Structure 1
Amino acid sequence: MRIVLTGGGSGGHLTPLEPIIDALRLQFREYRGRLPVWIDRERLDIYFLGILDAEGEKFFTRLGVKAFNIPSGKLRRYPSTLTISDFLFRLPLGLLKALWRMWVIMPDAVVSKGGYGSLPASLAAAYYRVPFLLHESDALSGLTNRWLAPLATVITVGYVATRHGAERYKQKTVVTGIPVRAELFREEQTAAKKRFGFSPDELVLLVMGGSQGAEQLNRAVLESLPSLLTEVGILHLTGPRHLENVRAAAQERMAHISRPHPYRTFGYLSDTIGQAIIAADAVVTRAGATALAEMAYARKAIVIVPLASAAQDHQRQNAAVFEAAEAAVVVSPENLGRALLVQSVRTVLFNKPIRTTLIKNIGTLSHPRAAHDIAALTFKLAVGLAPIQPAVDAGPPSAS
C-alpha cells in the first residue's frame, strides 16, 4: 500500500503529519488482512511530496518517510516581484515534478495538510484521480485549501465552525479535530517541573510565541518580569532568533528583583514541548491551531494573544473558537502590554472559579482520536469508500 503526504509552508503544516503517520502504520498492521486484493498488503510505503528545508528533511528522515522536495508558489498579500516569479517559474516547475513523482509512485491515497506547499502534489493527485483527503486545522480555511476543496474527495477539519463555514462542501466534510503527538504528554507534572528546574510546589507559567510571533510577547514578558517573578516561575520560549537578546535583557531586570522565582529560557523546544506544557500551571500562547490543540489535549488554563500578522487573520478566528467556548482568556495583540499581561496571568492562575471553568471547557475542544480518524478515512479512500456526512452536523463523528 502506498500513501503520499503533502503540505508545507510552515511548521504548523508538517507537525500534525507525525501522529497521522504513526496512526497509518498502526492501522495498516491491524487491518491489512482485510484490504482488497488489488492493494499491496505486504508493506505500507509512505512518501512526502512538498516543500522541504533542512529541518523538514530531518523531520521525515527521523520518521522513516521518503521525502521529495517539490517547489511551489506563494501568493503574498502585498505587492512583490517574488509572487510573480513564484507563479511563472516555481509553481509550474513544482507541478511538473509533482506529476512525475505521483506517476512513479501512483499511491492508493493522498493526505494533504494544506499550505501553499501542498498545491502541486494535490493538483497532481486530482489529475490522476487519486482519492485525496484535505485537512484544515484552522477555524478559517486557508487560501490553498479553499482552492483545493472542490477537488478533494473528503475534507477533515479541526473545528465544527470550519465545517459550518464551508457550506458548499459540508456533505464531504468531517470534523476530526487536530492531530497531536500524544506520546509527548505522558510525563507527570512533578517530573516535568523538575526536568526544567522548578520545584514541584512552584507555580509555572509557560510563554510560547512561536517562531513568527515571539517578538511582541517577548517584549511584554520582559516588561512584566518584576511583577510575575515574585509570584510564579517562568518557562519562556523566545524563538531561536531572540534567545540571546532576551536572556541579556532579563538578566538586567532580574537584578532588581528580590528573591525571584526561576526564569528559564529556550529558543525552541521540539521533542520536549509536551513536557513543557505539562509542567505549566498556565500558558500564554499565540493561536496557532496545533499549539491550541496541544493545550486542549493537556487541559491547560491559557491566555491567547493572536498573531496580528497571521495570514487572513486566521489566528483571531482560532482564538474566537476558544473564547466562545469559555476555554481561554483572549488578549488582543493591539492591547498587549505589561499591565494587561500580568492581569490576565493572575486571572487564569489565581481566580479559582474562572480557572476551573477554563480547564473544564478547554477539554471539550480536544479530539484525542483525530489522527486515528484521519488515518481510518485515508484507508477508506484507498479502497474506494468516500464517506458522506449528513447535512445537519451532530458533532465530531468517528471514522472507525
Structure 2
Amino acid sequence: MQFVLAAGGTGGHMIPAYALAAELRSRGHGVLLITDERGKRYPGLFEGMPVEVLQAGRITKNPINLLKGVASILAGRRAARALYRRGRPDAVIGFGGYPAFPALLAAASMDIPTVLHEQNAVLGRVNRLLAGGASAIATAYERIERLKPAHQGKCVLVGNPVREAVVRLGEQPFPPFDEFSPLKILITGGSQGATVLGRVVPRGFAALEPSLRHRLQIVQQCRPDDIELVREAYRQLGIPAELTTYIEDMPAKLGDAHLVIGRAGASTIAELTAAGRPAILIPLPIATDDHQTANAREMARAGGARMIPQGQFRPDTLARQIEALAADPEALSNAAARALSVGRPRAAQDLADLVERIANKQAPLIVGPAASPASVRLAPAGAAA
C-alpha cells in the first residue's frame, strides 16, 4: 500500500512520523512525507525517503494574518490534491502541526481515509479541527484533554512511536550505579533547547554535596546563545561536560544516562518510558494548553519522574531532588523500572496495524474512549458503528 505521512517540522511531530515510516517500509509499503522546510532539513530522519514541502499557514486571531494563513492553507490543499491525483494514497496519517493541515484537508476532500495521531495528553489544535472527519484518532495517553465526547469512539490507544534503537534500551539492564560510580546525567530541552536549563542546572550542581558533585558526568543540550556561558560554568565547577546544540545520537546518550533532566515534550516522555530512564521534568509553562504538564503526569504518578513547575525550578530545589535519587543506589533503578512500566514500546507496530486496517477499508472500529489495540474489535461488514 501507499501511505502519506503529514507532520509539522518539530521533533515532537517528526520523530513519531519517522518511527511509523520505518515500520511501514519494513512491511513493504510505500511512504511519502509531507512537511515544511524545517521538517525537510531535520537531521537524521527520512533520508532516502521521498519528501514534499507544501504551503501551510497558521490560523490566528489577527485578521490580516488570518487571511494570509487561510490563503496559504488553500494553496497547500490544491498542491496536495494534485499530488494525490498523480498517485492516490491508501491513507493519509497526520501527526499534528499546521504543515499537516493542507495534506489532511485534501485527503478528506477526495474521500481518502485519514488517521490522526496525537502525541500529547491534550488534543492539538489541528487535530481538533480535523477530528470530525478522521477515520480514527490514535492516542499516546489513556486520557486526552480537549477531545469532544462525540469523537471518543474513534480513539485507539497506541502510544507515541519512538525509534527502534530507543525501544532496545528498555530491553537492556539499567546502567550499573552505586555509591562510588559516576552519576551520568543527560540534560535536554527538546529540539529547540531551553535557556532555563542552562541557567539553573549548573547552579544546581554547584549546590550538591561535594562528594556527589565530583562524581558527575554531564551531557547537555544548550541553545546556541547559551552554550559558551554554560561551558564556562562547568569549567569553573570542574565538572566534565559534553555540550552540544543538538544531540545527533539520542539513543546512545539516553542509554548511558542514569538520570535525565528536561522538558516534558511528547517525544521526550515517550523515549524515557520506552527506554526506562528516570527523570526530573520541568514542563514548558507556555506550551499550548499547558500540554507538557499533562504529558508528565502519568510518568510522575508511576514514580518514574519528579515534576518541578518552572516557577519553582531553583538550584537548591534541583540539588535536593538529585541528592534524594542518588542517596540510595536502588532509588534510580526503581524509578527506571517505574518509568518503563508506563512505556508503550510497541507504539509503532500498533499504529501501523491501525493504519493498515483503515487503508484496507475494513469494517468500522468499535472502541472505547481509551481502548488499547488489543481490545479493538471489528464490526461485521455493513454493521453500524
Same fold (TM over 0.5): yes
Q: Deviations over 1:2-31 (max 9, x none)?
A: 211101142211111122111112223xxx
Deviation at 1:49, TM superposition (A): 1.9
Counterpart of 1:265 in structure 2 is 243
Q: Does the Cα contact within 8 Å between 2:24 and 2:31 map onto a contact in 1? A: no
Return closer, same or farther for 1:180/1:167 CA change in 2, 3 Å cut-off: same
**Residues 165-199 of structure 1, C-alpha deviation per residue, up to 9 Å, x if partnerless?**
54322222100001010224657999999xxxxxx
Residue 71 of structure 1 pairs with residue 55 of structure 2: yes
Out of 273, 278, 285, the residue aligned to residue 301 of structure 1 is 278
How far the C-alpha of 1:210 sits from its partner, in A, is 2.1
Local SS of the residue matching 1:150: helix
Partner of 2:226: 242
CA distance, structure 2, for counterparts of residue 342 and residue 292 of structure 1: 22
Secondary structure class of the residue paired with 1:160: coil
Asked if 1:118 corresponds to 2:96, the answer is: no
How far has the Cα of 1:322 moved from its partner?
Answer: 2.1
Distance 1:331 1:377 in 2: 36
Partner residue of 2:75 out of 69, 83, 93: 93
In the aligned structure 2, how far is the partner of 1:237 from the partner of 1:92?
38
In the alignment, what sits opposite 1:370? Answer: 347
SS at match of 2:187: strand
Q: Which residue of 1 aligns with 2:201?
A: 221
Aligned positions of 1:82-161 closer than 5 A: 83-84=65-66, 86-161=68-143
Q: Is the 8 A contact 1:175 1:397 kept in 2?
A: no
267 and 174 in structure 1: CA distance in 2 versus 1, 3 angstrom threshold: same
Q: CA deviation at 1:381?
A: 1.5
Indicate yes or no: 2:160 matched with 1:182. no
Pair 1:65–1:217, CA change in 2 (3 A): same
Task: For 1:286 and 1:298, locate their aligned partners in 2 and report how far apart those are by CA, in whole Å.
Answer: 16
Residue in 2 that maps onto 1:25? 25
The alpha-carbon deviation at position 55 of structure 1 amounts to 5.0
Q: How many residues align?
A: 369
Q: Is the 8 A contact 2:7 2:13 kept in 1?
A: yes
1:135-173: CA deviations, max 9, x gaps? 001000111111111111111000101289543222221
TM-score of the superposed pair, with normalisation by structure 1: 0.83
Cα distance, 1:362 vs. partner? Answer: 1.5
Q: Give the 3-state SS of the residue equivalent to 2:365 in structure 1.
A: coil
Pair 68,275 (structure 1): closer, same or farther in 2 beyond 3 Å: same
Alignment-mate amino acid for residue 292 of structure 1: I
CA change 1:298–1:262 in 2 (3 A) is same
Deviation larger for 141-150 or 377-386: 377-386
Following the alignment from structure 1 to structure 2, what is the Cα–Cα distance between the partners of residues 305 and 58?
A: 25
Deviation of 1:377 after TM superposition, in Å, equals: 1.4
Q: Residue 58 of structure 1: CA displacement?
A: 5.7
Supply the RMSD in Å over aligned alpha carbons: 2.9
Relative distance call for 1:139 and 1:88 in structure 2 (3 A) is closer
In 1, Cα distance between equivalents of 2:274 and 2:309: 24
Q: Deviations over 1:46-102 (max 9, x none)?
A: 21222133753765651x2211111212235xx667733542432222122122212
Distance across 2 between alignment mates of 1:178 and 1:119: 20
Query: What whole-Å deviation, never above 9, does each CA across 1:183-239 have from its counterpart, x for those lacking one?
Result: 24657999999xxxxxx9421111111244510111001222323433422211113
Q: CA deviation at 1:306?
A: 0.3
Deviation at 1:387, TM superposition (A): 4.9
Structure 2: segments with no counterpart, 5+ residues? 378-385
Q: For the residues of structure 2 that align with 1:15 and 1:346, how far apart are their CA atoms?
A: 33
Q: Which moved more, 1:96-105 or 1:309-318?
A: 96-105
Whether 2:298 is the aligned partner of 1:316: answer: no
Quickly say closer, same or farther: Cα 1:346–1:86, change in 2 above 3 A: farther
Structure 1 residues 389 and 399: alpha-carbon distance in aligned structure 2, compared to 1, 3 A threshold: closer
Which of 27, 33, 41 does residue 56 from structure 1 map onto? 41
SS, match of residue 397 in structure 1: helix
Q: Percent identity?
A: 28
SS of the residue 2:32 aligns to: strand
Task: State the one-letter code of the partner of 2:217.
Answer: G
What is the rounded CA distance, in whole Å, between the counterparts of 1:352 and 1:246 in structure 2? 28
CA distance in 1, matches of 2:158, 2:31: 21
Distance change (3 Å), C-alpha of 1:349 and 1:398: farther
- Report the alpha carbon displacement of residue 372 of structure 1 after superposing the two structures with TM: 0.7
Residue 282 (structure 1) aligned with residue 266 (structure 2): no
Instruction: Name the structure 1 match of 2:15.
Output: 15
Deviation of the 1:389 alpha carbon: 3.3
